[in-house]
Homo-oligomer: A and B are copies of this chain.
Amino acid sequence: MSRTAGSSGKKTLAAIREAGLDLIHERGFEAVSLRQLAARVSLQPGSLYNHIETKQDLLFDLIHNHMVTLLQSVDAALDGIEDPLAQLEAFIAFHLTYHIERKREVFIGSSELRSLDPKNRKKIVALRRTYEERLCDILERGAAKRLFKIDDIPVSAYAILAMLTGICTWYDAKGRIDRKTLIDIHTRLVLQGVLK
């Protein structure tokens, strides 16, 4: 039998992406072999190449896809909000929610930057910087309006992002803390740190 009934190219590629996210998140890009990936989606290793260009290409595809979605989503989340304080609250809620829901993508997107070849890495780093700029902008406008008191905007932005992103490492959807509480705690931590 040369093809599983009902399978199709699009579905197979989606399965490969999904398995790729899982495996790379668990073990790291270098530690995942295409054999393992193929086994996860019930293919022979060579058959992967009907759907991906190279292993490197799959990694780039996963990360790039994530970054583009992240940027679109943050813009959607901030759309129409004018007040910097409301924007910051929206950003925090968005960032946490997104990072909880896409733990794997987020984790891979930062921990596997170094597995990207230079050309691909450059593209991703640019997108990432664009995302960071969103927070910087909010802090700047809040500072300009004397709502926030911030010593150094880029450093503070990095610090806040590091704090908010940290949950990827430990948050467990089935754990003690529910999502809303988590957002409240972090919102309070950040706002107090930043408000005048």
Q: Which residues on A are within 8 Å of B, measured CB to CB?
A: 26-28, 30-31, 111, 114-115, 151-152, 155-156, 158-163, 165-167, 169-170, 177, 181-182, 184-186, 188-190, 192-195
**Least Cβ distance of A66 to chain B in Å?**
18
Contact of A159 among B115, B185, B192 (CB under 8 A): B185
Closest B residue to A31 by beta carbon equals: B30
- Determine if A163 and B155 form an interchain contact, defined as CB atoms under 8 angstroms apart: no
Number of copies: 4
Known: A193-B188, A193-B189, A193-B193. A166 touches B162 (CB 8 A): yes
Query: Cβ of A195: which chain B residues have Cβ within 8 Å of it?
Result: 192
**Least Cβ distance of A191 to chain B in Å?**
8
Contact of A163 among B28, B115, B163, B185 (CB under 8 A): B163
In the docked arrangement, what's the CA distance between A194 and B186, Å?
Answer: 11
- Determine if A161 and B166 form an interchain contact, defined as CB atoms under 8 angstroms apart: yes
In the docked arrangement, what's the CA distance between A33 and B27, Å?
Answer: 17
Contact of A185 among B111, B151, B184 (CB under 8 A): B151
Contact of A162 among B165, B182, B193, B194 (CB under 8 A): B165
- Determine if B26 and A185 form an interchain contact, defined as CB atoms under 8 angstroms apart: no
